Structure 1
Amino acid sequence: MTGSHEKNRRYWDASAPGWERLRDRDGLWQTCHENPEPAFEGRALETIRSLVGGLAGKDVCVIGSGDNYVAFALAGLGAKVTSTDISRGQLAVAESRASLLGLDIDFVRSDAAHLDSLPDQSFDLICSTNGFFTWIAEPALVLAEVHRLLRPGGFYVFYDVHPFQRPWQDQVGETRMDKPYWDTGPHGSKGDIPTVEFEWTVADLLNALAESGLRLKTIIESPAKDSRFWEGHSYEPGSHPELLDWKVNPRAGLPVWLTVAAQKAEA
């Protein structure tokens, strides 16, 4: 485990109870196994379905699973899901919730750059979701692991905040740059439990993907569907739809989500 990943693990373990309370407020964890669409952004579920087809019986791994909404959603669609995250605290919350929902999910604590406990060619589909790559010091290591774990012909699909959104200050209604696009970090926090974050460019992510041996299938750049993105909410509905208009909020004229699908070559 890298030094930055260890710092981030300590943060997420300490923060897990607070995030548990926050996710109880939106309550989506209770329904996404029956209604999977709200667990995804950026047309990611649509992309998975178009490439993989039916998920019943498919072996799926969610890396950096966090709140595990996507893991719950995929399990509800019939997939045999393995959920991996660096934080034991986050996984404990998810495992408790999965038990309440009657979902059979394997939970594995592991650094996404070193998934050594999982055997080669174990999965038909691997996913990562919003906020994953910002915690990753070396995307190439993660994508090499993804390639190792996929069966021939298997798919990796990720969606995340589009790198074009990263250079700006968080205010809406005006645009002011906070840093150059190419200043990818590391950026350290100054909280009680320090973290280390990265803001990778599109080129950083796609070059690492190519170097892993995965073959690019599709890229989707999407706007926000709900103003909650601009209001700082992960799942709760927004209340200011005017923020979706780029004339009111210029950053809405840039893509919010980057969704990428890649495939491991057939044997």
Structure 2
Amino acid sequence: MIQEPVSPEIESAEPEATRRQADVAESSRANRGWWDRNADEYQIEHGTFLGDDRFVWGPEGLDEVEAELLGPPEDLKGKDVLEIGAGAAQCSRWLAAQGARPVALDLSHRQLQHSLRIGGAFPLVCADAGALPFADGSFDLACSAYGALPFVADPVLVLKEVRRVLRPGGRFVFSVTHPIRWAFPDEPGPAGLSVAASYFDRTPYVEQDEEGRAVYVEHHRTVGDRVRDIVAGGFRLVDLVEPEWPSWNTSEWGGWSPLRGNLIPGTAIFVCVRD
């Protein structure tokens, strides 16, 4: 995919936040550009929380070493695992330490450069989750911690691609912003505790430049939508995890905070199996 060049004037202008439709191509192009431009700031701001080699499912800090959503750590040895939306590949680094054979895939070239900076002996692939560059049945497991699924216009397409590259019996576990959060303002304080929008409004959140070109897109799906997408993608849903906010976590991450986390869920983790 060729990214359209962005002039310095447009890049420096404050984008307009709106709700409008954004198709597969526009969403992919906008989000590739956004993550390439913001990868450095993201890693500086959140790198300490994420660590270099931890597998964290979301801002609550739920760690795979405790959750075992992919299975017991000792069972990961020798498994081929695809991490989708890997960012700096912290999760893949943890998987490699368990003896797995991870492949870290991300839409953003700049995010993957941060993985090279940190280090790790596993493949890095820059590609779109809707067109995975792998043969059928290449992996035993797939995972995605806030990667790809919140940002794609056609989640079923991604799920079908993941199913295609998984072997029979393979598990796909992915986390996304909890759908209920879309009804509340994205604020960590008291202002974020009052319903401000319809939970049922699926209109994407779009940030666009002065010419109306999307520079960031996020797509809302209700819980029911997510379940139907999983089924349509050929998976069987075996668990839905809604992590509670732990007492040790005093951090704020965007709209996630101890105040809100103790009252409403912030993350939804879907555990799916390819029969």
Using the size of structure 1 for normalisation, the TM-score is 0.80
Specify the SS of the correspondent of 1:48: coil
What amino acid is the match of 1:155? R
Q: Which runs of 5+ in 1 are unaligned?
A: 244-248
Is structure 2 residue 264 aligned with structure 1 residue 263? no
| Alignment check: 8 A CA contact 2:144 2:174 kept | yes
Specify the SS of the correspondent of 2:246: coil
Q: Which aligned runs of 4 or more in structure 1 are off by greater than 6 angstroms?
A: none
Is structure 2 residue 190 aligned with structure 1 residue 197? no
> Where does 1:59-98 land on structure 2 (aligned, <5 Å)?
59-98=80-119
Is structure 2 residue 145 aligned with structure 1 residue 129? yes
Q: Distance in 1 between matches of 2:70 and 2:168?
A: 18
Mark the CA change 1:84 to 1:37 in structure 2 (over 3 Å): closer, same or farther. Answer: closer
The CA RMSD measured in Å over matched residues stands at 2.8
* Corresponding residue number in structure 1 for 2:195: 177
What amino acid is the match of 1:29? G
State the Cα distance separating 1:262 from its structure 2 match.
1.1
Q: Distance in 2 between matches of 1:229 and 1:134?
A: 25
Figure out how many residues of one structure are paired with residues of the other and give that number: 244
Mark the CA change 1:142 to 1:226 in structure 2 (over 3 Å): closer, same or farther. Answer: farther
| Alignment check: 8 A CA contact 1:44 1:158 kept | no
* Corresponding residue number in structure 2 for 1:158: 174
Mark the CA change 1:199 to 1:39 in structure 2 (over 3 Å): closer, same or farther. Answer: closer
Q: Which runs of 5+ in 2 are unaligned?
A: 2-24
Specify the SS of the correspondent of 1:177: coil
Q: Deviations over 1:185-205 (max 9, x none)?
A: 222114687211112111121
Q: Distance in 1 between matches of 2:158 and 2:80?
A: 19
| Alignment check: 8 A CA contact 1:81 1:105 kept | yes
Q: Distance in 2 between matches of 1:109 and 1:4?
A: 16
Q: Distance in 2 between matches of 1:184 and 1:264?
A: 27
State the Cα distance separating 1:59 from its structure 2 match.
0.2
| Alignment check: 8 A CA contact 2:84 2:147 kept | no
Q: Deviations over 1:118-148 (max 9, x none)?
A: 1110111100112542211111000000110
Is structure 2 residue 125 aligned with structure 1 residue 108? yes
Specify the SS of the correspondent of 2:228: helix
| Alignment check: 8 A CA contact 2:70 2:141 kept | no
Specify the SS of the correspondent of 1:260: strand
What amino acid is the match of 2:121? D
Q: Deviations over 1:186-229 (max 9, x none)?
A: 22114687211112111121111101111111112222225758
Q: Distance in 2 between matches of 1:178 and 1:203?
A: 21
Q: Distance in 2 between matches of 1:222 and 1:23?
A: 19
Mark the CA change 1:37 to 1:127 in structure 2 (over 3 Å): closer, same or farther. Answer: closer
State the identity %.
Answer: 29
* Corresponding residue number in structure 1 for 2:22: none
| Alignment check: 8 A CA contact 1:60 1:82 kept | yes
* Corresponding residue number in structure 1 for 2:44: 21
